[in-house]
């Protein structure tokens, strides 16, 4: 009898399993590094080429494997970490399913070289597409080396949906940085295309809290570390250790939040809400605290077998855990004096730029000076393109759009005469009120001017910084900026790498005025990190120009004069898209007289 249902062969089963466990090269690194941690390694080196698709090599000094175990590890669901189903309920290792190695070996050209302390010889096993081609004795110190080449070579559909090598390399860096934060007692090194992008030494503090603080410094940087205060709380079998940010050091998103449960990086809304509870009313609306927290709980309280990549867990006794975290955060903050001084601004808040002048086309900038200033010799400047004057973008408006008349100004807004709007997109009768958002309008003007230079491949006029800015970044931030240096230099932001994870900014476009250079660069780097789209080079430049323009536009808290407002409106109406800022928000709104009348009823 013919049947439609068939039992799949082992080769097909392995490829299906690989699709669940292995999404990209970072997934391979995660699984193999976690195996090295479970093997008791104190030193782990990761080498990659081509973002990991050409080659991934993981070397550790763990316990290693004998020949029989090395071959058995290639079988599905072969593991040394559990013996029976009950063990899953209290698993204490990073891995336990026995899926990673056979899944990786089935979609790559795979080699494992390993040796235990008890054996004089090591073992080498070579696999291609899930088939063992060779196994033989080989020389090696105690530990394991696993090499993965040509990832997805036999899965063209999966290969077609992979991202760029640069993106994959950055994802691996993020993944290894996260694992390093969870394991401060292990030394990690990442080498990408023969360049070291991450090095963390074994931390030598007397307490786990001290060692974790040192690891935070190495991975997330000094600014992050010194913006936090230590947390340590224990209740029965539960313990919380880590660092939480002071209330004045917050972010607009959750990018600075790291949670580890039994050293495993976890996404947990429960913990996030518990931390916020610990802050009470100290947090501003729509701001998020930064933290690195290690939660130690008994294995039978946490279920890690609910997600293929183990990113999420289920917790029993959630209320007790939430209470512990909130109490720990509250206690830590109460021990600190975190009231900022009158002239102190939060490190992570973007200050408003001072108001530029619209009355004269002469640029005067605090913080800038000619390069021949005698009292300071700046670092050697970057090789630069020929710097020309900016094109006369607004001498002849690109449209015949009429110029509205100014009636007056108030802080943030310019009031237009609605009777002078005929012929514009805002012409809806002569009654009502028309307002211009001066900050949004200025951002549109700056953006259009810089974009015109970029499209014509003309370097914008620049001003050299009197004191070049030295920018120390985390390994992840440095990798992001390193990849975007050419783009920034095209935009007139002259930057170069000075030392490992340290960059020097020595010139900015004149349009940037006396902007806070450090705050602007931090904002740009964070924007680049948050962008996960494979944009074209030109689209990426437009995105960063829009961000820069919105950051350096004049303050919405200040009031400009009528004459300055008229110049602003004249330049705005000369833009191709005058009624939207670069971020899509309106620059001009009209409130009809009927709508105004409703406020007096």
Q: Encode pLDDT of 60-83 as tens digits.
A: 999 999 988 888 888 865 555 444
Residue pair 251/288 in contact (Cβ under 8 Å)? The answer is yes
In the prediction, which pLDDT does 380 show?
A: 43
* Per-residue confidence band for 356, with pLDDT thresholds at 50, 70 and 90: very low
Check: CB of residue 59 under 8 Å from CB of residue 203. no
Average pLDDT over residues 558-567: 89
pLDDT value, residue 216: 95
Return mean pLDDT, the chain. 80
Per-residue buried b or exposed e for 233-271, using 16+ beta carbons within 10 Å of the residue's own CB: beeeebbbbbbbbbbbbbbeeeebbbbbbbbbbbebebb
User: Where is pLDDT greater, at 401 or 439?
Assistant: 439
**Cα angle: 16, vertex 19, 20; to 5 degrees:** 100
Tens digit of pLDDT for each residue in 83-111? 444 444 445 555 545 578 888 999 999 99
Place of tokens 């660092």: 243
**Separation of alpha carbons 554 and 354, rounded Å:** 6
Task: Check: CB of residue 464 under 8 Å from CB of residue 371.
Answer: yes
Q: Positive or negative CA dihedral for 177, 183, 189, 192?
A: negative
* Phi, psi angles (nearest 5°) of residue 242: 160, -155
Checking if the pLDDT of 348 tops 70, the result is no
Q: What is the dihedral of CA 338, 342, 343, 348, to 10 degrees?
A: 40
pLDDT in tens, 114-164: 999 999 999 999 999 989 999 999 999 999 999 999 999 888 888 888 888
Which H helix or E strand runs over 596?
Answer: helix 593-598
* Structure-token pair, residue 385: 């393109």
Q: Write down the pLDDT at residue 345.
A: 40
What is the per-residue pLDDT for 185?
93
Q: Give pLDDT tens digits for 364-388.
A: 333 333 333 333 334 344 344 444 4
Interval 545-552 mean pLDDT: 81
Q: How far, in Å, are 180, 183, 184, 481, 559 from residue 202 at the CA level?
A: 10, 9, 7, 27, 55
Q: pLDDT (tens digit, 9 = 90+) per residue, 508-543?
A: 988 887 788 888 888 888 888 775 555 566 777 777
Which of 250-254, 267-271, 312-316, 411-415 bottoms out in mean pLDDT, i.e. has the lowest?
312-316
Q: What CA–CA distance (Å, rounded) separates 343 from 531?
A: 33
Q: Distance (Å, rounded) from C-alpha 65 to C-alpha 68?
A: 8
pLDDT of residue 213: 94
Is 53 in contact with 104 (CB distance < 8 Å)? Answer: no
Q: Report residue 73 CA to chain centroid gap.
A: 35
Tell me what pLDDT residue 542 has: 79
Give the integer Cα–Cα distance in Å for 126 and 146.
Answer: 10
For the ranges 18-32, 38-52, 220-234, 245-259, the lowest mean pLDDT is seen at 18-32
Share of the chain above pLDDT 90, in %: 36
Close Cβ partners of 327 (under 8 Å, ≥ 6 residues apart): 233, 235, 278
pLDDT band at 334 (very low <50, low <70, confident <90, very high): confident
Mean pLDDT over residues 238-255, rounded? 90
Residue 409 is encoded by which pair of tokens? Answer: 């100004």
Give dist(CA 197, CA 476) in Å, integer: 8
pLDDT of residue 534: 54
Among the listed ranges 275-279, 435-439, 507-511, which one has the minimum average pLDDT value? 507-511
pLDDT at 361: 39
Parallel, antiparallel, or unpaired for β 228-235 and 195-200? unpaired
Q: Is the pLDDT of residue 230 over 70?
A: yes
For residues 61 and 115, the answer to whether their CB atoms sit within 8 Å is no
> Using CA atoms, how far apart are residues 153 and 414, in angstroms rounded to an integer?
61
% the chain with pLDDT above 70: 77
CA 247/CA 290 separation, integer angstroms: 9
pLDDT for residue 405: 84
Query: What does the pLDDT read at residue 592?
Result: 80
Neighbours of 508 (CB within 10 A): 29
List pLDDT tens digits, range 19-45. Answer: 556 889 999 999 999 999 999 999 999
50-62 pLDDT, tens digit each: 999 999 999 999 9
Whether residue 453 contacts residue 390, with contact meaning beta carbons closer than 8 Å, is answered with: yes
Phi then psi for residue 253, to 5 deg, are: -140, -175
Q: Which pLDDT belongs to residue 188?
A: 97
The pLDDT value given to residue 374: 36
């Amino acid at each position: 009898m013919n049947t439609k249902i068939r039992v799949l062969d082992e080769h097909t089963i392995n490829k299906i399993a690989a699709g669940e466990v292995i999404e990209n090269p970072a997934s391979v690194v995660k699984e193999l590094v976690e195996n090295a941690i479970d093997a008791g390694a104190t030193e782990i080196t990761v080498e990659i080429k081509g973002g990991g698709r050409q080659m991934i090599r993981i070397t550790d000094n763990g316990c290693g494997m004998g020949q029989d175990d090395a071959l058995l590890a290639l079988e599905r669901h072969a593991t040394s970490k559990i013996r029976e189903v009950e063990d899953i309920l209290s698993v204490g290792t990073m891995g336990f399913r026995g899926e990673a190695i056979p899944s990786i070996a089935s979609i790559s050209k795979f080699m494992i070289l390993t040796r235990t302390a008890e054996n004089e010889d090591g073992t080498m096993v070579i696999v291609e597409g899930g088939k063992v081609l060779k196994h033989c004795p080989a020389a090696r110190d105690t530990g394991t080396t696993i090499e993965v080449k040509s990832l997805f070579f036999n899965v063209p559909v999966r290969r077609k949906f992979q991202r760029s090598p640069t993106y994959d390399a950055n994802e691996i860096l993020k993944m290894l940085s996260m694992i390093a934060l969870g394991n401060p007692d292990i030394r990690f090194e990442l080498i990408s295309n023969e360049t070291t992008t991450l090095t963390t030494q074994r931390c030598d503090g007397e307490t786990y809290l001290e060692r974790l603080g040192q690891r935070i410094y190495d991975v997330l940087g000094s600014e992050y570390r010194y913006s936090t205060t230590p947390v340590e709380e224990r209740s029965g079998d539960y313990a919380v250790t880590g660092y939480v940010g002071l209330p004045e050091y917050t972010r607009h998103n959750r990018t600075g939040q790291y949670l580890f449960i039994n050293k495993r990086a976890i996404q947990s809304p429960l913990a996030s809400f518990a931390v916020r509870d610990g802050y009470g009313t100290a947090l501003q609306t729509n701001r998020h605290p930064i933290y690195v927290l290690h939660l130690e709980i008994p294995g039978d309280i946490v279920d890690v077998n609910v997600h293929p990549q183990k990113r999420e867990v289920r917790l029993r006794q959630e209320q007790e855990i939430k209470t512990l975290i909130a109490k720990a955060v509250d206690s830590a903050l109460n021990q600190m004096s975190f009231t900022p001084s009158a002239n102190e601004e939060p490190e992570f808040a973007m200050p408003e730029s001072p108001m530029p002048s619209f009355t004269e086309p002469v640029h005067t900038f605090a913080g800038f000076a000619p390069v021949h200033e005698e009292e300071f010799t700046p670092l050697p400047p970057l090789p630069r393109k020929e710097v020309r004057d900016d094109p006369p973008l607004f001498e002849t408006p690109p449209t015949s759009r009429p110029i509205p008349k100014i009636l007056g100004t108030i802080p943030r807004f310019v009031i237009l005469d609605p009777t002078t709007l005929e012929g514009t997109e805002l012409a809806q009768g002569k009654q009502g009120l028309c307002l211009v958002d001066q900050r949004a309008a200025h951002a549109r003007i700056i953006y259009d001017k810089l974009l015109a230079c970029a499209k014509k491949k003309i370097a914008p006029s620049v001003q050299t910084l009197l004191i070049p800015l030295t920018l120390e970044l985390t390994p992840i931030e440095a990798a992001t900026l390193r990849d975007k240096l050419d783009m920034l230099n095209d935009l007139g932001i002259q930057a170069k790498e000075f030392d490992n994870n340290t960059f020097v900014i020595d010139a900015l476009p004149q349009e940037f005025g006396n902007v806070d250079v450090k705050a602007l660069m931090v904002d740009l780097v964070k924007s680049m990190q948050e962008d996960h789209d494979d944009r074209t080079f030109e689209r990426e430049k437009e995105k960063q120009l829009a961000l820069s323009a919105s950051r350096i536009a004049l303050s919405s808290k200040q009031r400009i004069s009528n004459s300055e407002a008229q110049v602003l409106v004249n330049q705005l109406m000369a833009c191709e898209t005058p009624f939207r800022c670069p971020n899509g928000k309106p620059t001009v709104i009209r409130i009809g007289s009927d709508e105004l009348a409703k406020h007096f009823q």
